[in-house]
Structure 1
Amino acid sequence: MLPAISKKLSAVLLVCLAAWLYQAIQPPPAKICGFPNGPPITASRIKLKDGRHLAYLESGVPKEKANYKIIYVHCFGACRYDVLPVSSEVLEELGIYLLSFDRAGYGESDPDPKKTEKSTALDIEELADQLGLGHKFYVVGFSMGGQVIWGCLKYISHRLAGAALLGPVANYWWPGYPANVSEEAYGLQLVPDQWAVRVAHYAPWLTYWWNTQKWFPSSSVIANRLEIFPAADIKVLHKFDGTARPYMEKILHQGEFDSLHRDMIVGFGTWKFDPMDLDNPFLDGNGSVHLWHGAEDLIVPVVLSRYISRKLPWIRYHELPDAGHMFLLEDGMGDIIVKALVLEDGK
C-alpha cells in the first residue's frame, strides 16, 4: 500500500515540478504600445506589410534637400533617440538627412515574434520606401545594430549607397570563422557572457529565464557590469547613462524578452547565411563598406573583426588602437565616420 502511495506522490510532484519549470521559462507577454495596459504611442510610426508598426525619428536636413540619406541602426538596449552622433555643423555642411528607428520590440516599435537575421533588413527597406528616401541610401549600425548591417548587405545590397559597421557584434558560430579564431574570441569573454551566448545559441527557449534568474550571473551587458568596459569606455559612459538619456525607461517598456533577449537569440543563433561568404556589392566603385572596431573592446573581441577584414578585403577596415566598444561616444567620432562613408566612396 505504502509503495503505491509513494509512486503516486512522486508522480504528482514531478508533474508539479514540470509545470513550475514551464512557467518559469516562459517570458511574460509584451506590453504593446497602444494596446490596453501598454505604453502610449507618442512617436511617428509606419505600418509595415505584416501589420507591425515601426517608430522612427528624423534629424539633419530635410530629406527633400539632402545630398546623403543615412539610416542608423541602434545598439543593444537602445532606441531611436540614440542616434548617430553627428554634429549639426557636419549635417548642414554635407547636407545629411539622418533617420533612426526603434528596432522591433524596442521603444515604440511592435515586437516581431518571427524576427530573423533577414527581417530587420527588410524593415529598413520598407521604412525607406514609405518615407520616400529614393532608391539608394546609406546604412550605419553600432554593436548589435552593426550586426544588422550584414543582413542589409545580404538582402538589400541593391538599395545601398554605402554601409558602415561600428563595433559589430559577431556570432561565434558563423561557419566562416576557423575554430582557433572563434575559440580564442569566445574565451576572451567574461565567464557569465560565455554562458549567456551559449544558452542563446543552443537553448534559445531558456534565454529569458537565464537572464532573469538570480542564482548565478547572467549577461554582463544586460546587468551593466563595469568590468566589461576598458578605461577608454569608462571615460565616455556618462554619455550613455540616465542623465544623458532621460528616455531610458521607455526603451524596454514593452518588455525585455522581445527586445534584449530576442536580440540575443537572433544574434547568436544559427544564421541562414555566413557574412564571410558575401560578395562586394560595390564592384562598380559607387559605394563602399567600412568596419570600425576598438582594439581594447571587451564586449566584442577585436580578433573577430580582424579576421573578417582579412577574409573580405573589399571592406575598409579601421582599427582604433586605444578605443573600446563605446568609441562612437568619443567627441567627433560620428563626424569622422560619416565623412569617411560619404566622402571617400569610390576613392
Structure 2
Amino acid sequence: MYDRAGYGESDPNPMRSLKSEASDIEELVDKLQLGPKVYVIGVSLGCYPAWSCLRRIPNRLEGIALVVPYINYKWSSLPSDLVKDDYRKGLLRWMFRVARYTPRLLHWWVTQKLFPSSTALEQNHAFYSDKDLEVLKKTPGYQLFTQKRLRKRSVFDSLRLDFMVAFGKWDFDPMDLPNPYPQKESRVHIWQGYEDKVVPVQLQRFVSQKLPWIRYHEVPDGGHLLVYDGAVCEAILRSLLLGEDPPLYIPKLDI
C-alpha cells in the first residue's frame, strides 16, 4: 500500500488528475523496481485511479480489483432511467459545486456541531447498511470522514481535491473501454455489496454488463465497507491472485 498525493506521508498535489494518478502509480512501481507488472486494488473513492490505470497503463497490470467503486453520474453512458430518481445524483452535484466554488463554507459545514450535517457518517443509517454499522463498531480505528479528521484543513483539502477529480468531468467513459486483455493475460474484477447505500447495486450491475470482460462479484449482505470483512477481503485477494470465483459471490441478478 502507498499514500496517494495528500494522504499520509505524501505531499498534496493541487493539480491532481486522472492522468496524474496513473502516472504516480507507474512511477512508484518503477522507483521501487517492482517489475514489469503489478496488482492494483482500488477501494471506493480510490477506484478512479484504478480506472485510470486500466485506461492508461493496462500493460503494467497483472490484475486489478475495483472494490465498491464510486459511480460518476457525469458518465454519458449511464441510462437516464437508472439515475433520474437517484437522490445521490443531486446530492453529489450540490457537493461538487460547493467544493469547487465555496470550499471554506463546505469545511465549516462538515465540521460544525450546531446543525446535523451529512458528515455525521459514523453511525448514519442513510449512508451505512446494518453490516457497515457492525464493521464500525468492531473497527475503532476507522475514522474516514469523521469530523475530528476533517477539522484538519490538510485532510479536508486532500479529500476535496480527490472528490472533485472523482466526480468531475473525465476524459473517458469507463463503459467505452475496450478489453485490454483479449488473451486473458490479466484479470479485472469489480466487487459490490448488495446492501451498499453509497453506490447503488443497480448501477454497478449496469457497468459490469457493459464491460463483460470484467468479472463481477456481489456480496449478498455486503455494504460499502465490505472490504473490512475478513472473509470477503480474503475472497477478493484469492480471486485476484489465484483466479478463484467463489460461488457465494456470484450475483443473483434480479433486474
TM-score, normalised by the number of residues in structure 1: 0.62
Cα distance in 2 between the residues matched to 1:111 and 1:252: 17
1:2-49 superposed Cα distances (whole Å, 9 cap, x missing partner): xxxxxxxxxxxxxxxxxxxxxxxxxxxxxxxxxxxxxxxxxxxxxxxx
1:41-60 superposed Cα distances (whole Å, 9 cap, x missing partner): xxxxxxxxxxxxxxxxxxxx
- 2:31 matched to 1:135? no
Change (3 A) 1:217 1:256: farther
Cα distance in 2 between the residues matched to 1:252 and 1:136: 39
Does the residue aligned with 1:271 lie in a helix, a strand or coil? coil
- 2:105 matched to 1:204? no
Paired position in structure 2 for 1:226: 124
Aligned-pair CA distance for 1:239? 4.4
Q: Describe how 1:91-102 pairs up with structure 2 within 5 A.
A: 100-102=1-3
Paired position in structure 2 for 1:104: 5
- 2:224 matched to 1:328? no
Change (3 A) 1:343 1:120: same
Q: 2:186 aligns with which of 263, 280, 287?
A: 287
Cα distance in 1 between the residues matched to 2:75 and 2:237: 28
Paired position in structure 1 for 2:167: 268
Give ranges in structure 1 of 5+ residues lacking alignment. Answer: 1-99
Change (3 A) 1:209 1:252: closer
1:320-344 superposed Cα distances (whole Å, 9 cap, x missing partner): 1211111111122221111111211
Cα distance in 1 between the residues matched to 2:104 and 2:164: 10
Contact map agreement 2:36 2:60 (CA 8 A) in 1: yes
The amino acid that maps onto 2:19 is K
Does the residue aligned with 1:161 lie in a helix, a strand or coil? strand
Contact map agreement 1:230 1:324 (CA 8 A) in 2: yes
Pick the structure with greater CA Rg. 1
Paired position in structure 2 for 1:10: none
Does the residue aligned with 2:102 lie in a helix, a strand or coil? helix
Greater per-residue strand proportion: 1
Aligned-pair CA distance for 1:135? 0.7
Paired position in structure 2 for 1:20: none
Over aligned residues, Cα RMSD in angstroms?
A: 2.6
Cα distance in 2 between the residues matched to 1:159 and 1:118: 15
Cα distance in 2 between the residues matched to 1:146 and 1:152: 10
Does the residue aligned with 1:276 lie in a helix, a strand or coil? helix
Contact map agreement 1:294 1:325 (CA 8 A) in 2: yes
Change (3 A) 1:300 1:139: same
Contact map agreement 2:75 2:173 (CA 8 A) in 1: yes
Aligned-pair CA distance for 1:183? 2.4
Contact map agreement 1:167 1:300 (CA 8 A) in 2: yes
The percent of aligned pairs where both chains have the same amino acid is 41
Does the residue aligned with 2:15 lie in a helix, a strand or coil? coil
Aligned-pair CA distance for 1:223? 4.6
- 2:236 matched to 1:337? yes
Change (3 A) 1:321 1:208: farther
Contact map agreement 1:298 1:324 (CA 8 A) in 2: yes
Paired position in structure 1 for 2:22: 121
Give ranges in structure 2 of 5+ residues lacking alignment. Answer: 245-255
Aligned-pair CA distance for 1:147? 2.7
Q: 2:59 aligns with which of 135, 150, 158?
A: 158
Aligned-pair CA distance for 1:146? 2.1
Cα distance in 2 between the residues matched to 1:251 and 1:210: 11
The amino acid that maps onto 1:122 is S
Aligned-pair CA distance for 1:207? 4.1
- 2:69 matched to 1:171? no
